[in-house]
Amino acid sequence: MTPIRYQTFAIGLAAALTVVLACATLSFAQQDSSKVLRLPMRTVGPNTLDPAKGSTTYDNMACSQIYETLLEPSYTNPNELKPLLLDTLPTSTFDDQGRKVWRFKLREDAFFHDNPCFPGGKGRRVTTEDVFYSWKRLADQRGSGGKNWWLMADTIVGFDEYKAMQDQAATFDYDAPVEGLRKSSDSEFEVVLSQPVYRFLWILQMFQTSIVPREAVEHYNADGRDLFSANPVGTGPYMLREWRPKQSLVVVRNPNYREAFYPADGWSQDDIERGLAEPAGRRLPLVDRLEFSMYVEDNPLWLNFENQILGYIELPYDFFEKAFNPRTRRIDRNLARRGVTYIVEPQLDFIFRQFNMEDELVGGYTPERIALRRAIILAIDLEEFNRSFYAGLCTVYDGPIPPGLDGYPEGGRVPSVPRGPNLELAREMLAKAGYPNGQGLPPIRFATSRSDFNARQTAMLKRQLERVGIRIEEITLDFPDLIAQVNRRELPFFGFAWSSDYPDAENNLALFYAPNASPGSNHANYSRPEYDALYEQARLMDPGPERTAMYERMRDMLLADAPFVGSLARNRYFMINPHMKNAKPTQRFWSWFKFLDTDQTR
């Protein structure tokens, strides 16, 4: 989601805040001798602890400690899927109508957390009905908002028809059958796909498809309340102890967590040399309590890492020169002497600025409207943004498909589409749009989340656009408010980012598929029938040259219609303090904290 940084305080105030944060955090640790890891969460943290309603990185980060999905990426190789709530990986066949059928078997030892919603407060075993119920929640427009329905749409036989029927009903009937969801037993079921969608299994590792118990939702949401969002009941290795919205979140070990073990196989030679394979076979989770603090600024984040309060951080780019020599990119000697290590992970990032294609000023598909958007794109210098705000560590590229995925253009460039800055061509496009030198063009409302980092980026955006006569009116919103207004299609131009949910460009191309329009993932509200037809065809295909060629055609359609300005992909530097063990940080999935350990003597 949107990359956010926060206002930089003077060093004295930052140091004072550090002491406050440190004392507040240590107070938890002093309660007992349990193993405690203190970790950062950027921005104001999660908006909800209900996976069916979640969408942001921070929702994901929090929910993934408490809930579990059927599958999860491997800690040793995130491009591989492993069973989580399943006994084994699912198998597939085809029925007599040629439809793909996936067969699933749940673990017998997966139980929900103990909670008052259950008789006697004792958590029960996860069943087939829980899986079906959790997926049906994504279709419940009134109950969960329907923002994540796009994950299941056009996928399972009869599921779309079920949703349409429930949308018209007075109350949502969770007991009504879905043809393609077939229960074999309490622990076995089949899913019949309406189309052999390649991404289907990857959807089942996304936190929005986490399995939740019906009793908990109905208990906490009785009488029209929405208390389940703050009273999570899952199967995960941790349970919620405390959530102070915008401040902190504490989870503690689930005392009844099943037997699950640290991975023994699949480690690379580099991982082995770093000692990551040494805990093989140890029972998970390895830490008793995780304490997340929300960081609204970078100074206290960095200082708390320096003071070894935090186990790790995603290094803010403004602090790169504090941790590394900017020329050699070698870690600072003092940090290395203290035992600080780091990992660099290329992100499957699509950092961009997006137009609302339904907006009266910047939206639309006429040559004039496209020319206006092209003028904005051509006036913007992404390399300057990269140098100024990301220490030159990002990859600048054309299109929505990040490096490492099929459809990424060679060298990051699509030669047929000029990239900014090209001020002369920008002025030509502006004149073609009917606004020579910007005459008659009203200020364009541009929205971003509230932070010093974003304020400085917006100042640069203003300066770059003013060179050709384009003015913007800055709108600054808290992140939840930004998301809400984008979902309501109220903003014409806004800053956003997307980290791919799974390693396939289809996930990024889905951001422009018309049925996914806001409040779904298509926040540009882009709609082009030719694009949709290609997407619907490509999503059924296995990887290969033919599918890659279709991805490239879709990519080039988007570049021609210009619904966004982009793109950048981050190379993320994760800094790790010596007391945090087994660390292989990633943003690809967020259930990896259960593999961490801490040496509290360090």
CATH number of 349-569: 3.10.105.10
Start-end of CATH 3.10.105.10 domains in the chain: 349-569
Query: Which DSSP helix (H) or strand (E) runs through 531?
Result: helix 529-538
Answer left, alpha or beta for residue 493, where phi above 0 means left and psi between -120 and 50 means alpha: beta
Residues of the chain with pLDDT under 50: 1-32
In 3-state terms the chain splits into helix, strand, coil percentages (rounded to 5) of 35, 20, 45
- pLDDT score for 56: 87
**What backbone phi and psi angles, to 5 degrees, belong to 475?**
-120, 120
- pLDDT score for 34: 87
- pLDDT score for 43: 81
- pLDDT score for 20: 35
Start-end of CATH 3.90.76.10 domains in the chain: 69-227
**Residue 431: how many CB atoms within 10 A of its CB?**
15
d(CA 9, CA 144): 38
- pLDDT score for 602: 67
Which residue, among 527, 516, 533, has the nearest Cα to 558 in the 3D structure?
A: 527
List pLDDT tens digits, range 401-448.
Answer: 999 999 999 999 999 999 999 999 999 999 999 999 999 999 999 999
pTM across the whole model:
0.81
List pLDDT tens digits, range 508-557.
Answer: 999 999 999 998 889 999 999 999 999 999 988 889 999 999 999 999 99
- Tell me the CATH number of domain 69-227, given options 3.30.1490.190, 3.30.2310.20, 3.30.300.180, 3.90.76.10: 3.90.76.10
- pLDDT score for 19: 34
